[in-house]
Amino acid sequence: MYQDKLKNLLIKVQNGSLSIEDAVSHMKGLPFEDLGYAKVDLHRKIRNGFPEVVYCEGKTMEQIQGIFQVLMRTETNILGTRASREDYEGVHQIAPNAVYHEEAHCIVVNPTKNNQSEDDHYIAVVTAGTTDISIAEEAVVTAETFGCRVKRIYDVGVAGLHRLLAKLDLLQKADVVIVVAGMEGALASVVSGLVENPVLAVPTSVGYGTSFHGISALLTMLNSCASGVSVVNIDNGFGAAYSASLIMKEITGGIR
């Protein structure tokens, strides 16, 4: 696409419809809006069919509102992650249709009603325990905002294998499995040994002492003796869902 754009620009130069100066400035990249504190990308939906995403943590209310305002000019839906309720209220002032997912700490603007396909493809989101659910919900909201179907399988940690085995069907029929686990994170290895599709593992900061805020689970997942596991940052439910959505898009030939 970048190549195409480049060729188009050159054709315009060749046929005289674009001056060299303008071509140079266009060529430096895809358009974005420069707010000073942020360069807001306006064409991600065009580029890859995905919603725009705003990482809210650490931004001031003014910055968050400014960025949403620019993005709302596009028709796309917008996902705000790591957003507090306070952040949501600020966004809600300028985007009356914004929805807040409390447990997932996510804001969704322009949520599409029927964006989920009717077919059989889905992502399974699995957690080891109850306290991992907050991160799992970030993954769920992300994947759904990106148009994927999701099935939740929560609190099936390896301490009671029978709970996991009871959901084996659901696991094995998923196209992609996202495993969310803190403490020792062993669930990713066990799940990966039971399914034949890609597993995306999300270590969580759940635990105490030598869980080291998620490092123990992270290392477990990176060293998984079962093949087919790849890993994202600690507590990064969003990242796992993003990768899973890319895979789903490829499988189904478009956004699901």
Binding of its own copies by 169 (CB under 8 A): yes
CB of 245 to its own copies, least distance (A): 9
Q: Is residue 84 at the binding interface for its own copies, with CB under 8 A as the rule? A: no
Which residue in the set 41, 87, 138, 144 belongs to the binding site for its own copies (CB under 8 A)?
Answer: 41
Options 76, 77, 110, 189; binder of its own copies; rule CB under 8 A: 189
Residue 204's closest CA among 189, 184, 176? 184
Query: Does position 6 bind its own copies by CB under 8 A?
Result: yes
Question: With CB under 8 A as the contact rule, which of the stretches 6-14, 70-78, 86-94, 108-116 interacts with its own copies?
Answer: 6-14
**Residue 100 interacts with its own copies (CB under 8 A): yes or no:** no
Cβ atoms of 45 and 76 within 8 Å: the answer is yes
212 near its own copies, judged by CB under 8 A:
yes
Determine if 32 is a binding residue for its own copies (CB under 8 A).
yes
The verdict on 163 binding its own copies (CB under 8 A) reads yes
- Yes or no: say if 217 and 164 are a contact pair by the CB < 8 Å rule: no
CA-nearest of 1, 88, 90 to 43 is 1
3-state helix, strand, coil in the chain (%, to 5): 45, 15, 40
- Is residue 46 near its own copies by the rule CB under 8 A? no
Q: In angstroms, what is the minimal distance from the CB of 155 to its own copies?
A: 5
Nearer to its own copies, 36 or 96 (CB): 36
Q: Do residues 109 and 83 lie in contact, with contact meaning Cβ atoms separated by under 8 Å? A: no
- Minimum CB distance to its own copies, residue 112 (Å): 19
Other beta carbons within 10 Å of 194: 15
Among 17, 210, 255, 256, binds its own copies (CB under 8 A): 210
DSSP annotation string for 142-156:
HHHHTT--EEEE-S-
Pair 227, 221: CB distance under 8 Å: no
**Chain residues 117-146 in contact with its own copies, contact rule CB under 8 A:** 128-131, 133
Please tell me whether residue 162 binds its own copies under the rule CB under 8 A: yes
Q: Does 33 bind its own copies (CB under 8 A)?
A: no
From 157, 179, 237, 256, residue interacting with its own copies (rule: CB under 8 A): 157
CA distances from 155 to 36, 89, 128, 129, 221 (A): 45, 31, 5, 4, 18
Name the DSSP letter for residue 104: T
Residue 194 is which amino acid?
L
Helices (H), 146-236: 161-165, 168-172, 187-194, 215-222
Taking the complex as a whole, the smallest distance from the CB of residue 86 to its own copies amounts, in Å, to 16
Kindly state the smallest distance separating residue 147's Cβ from its own copies, in Å.
Answer: 15
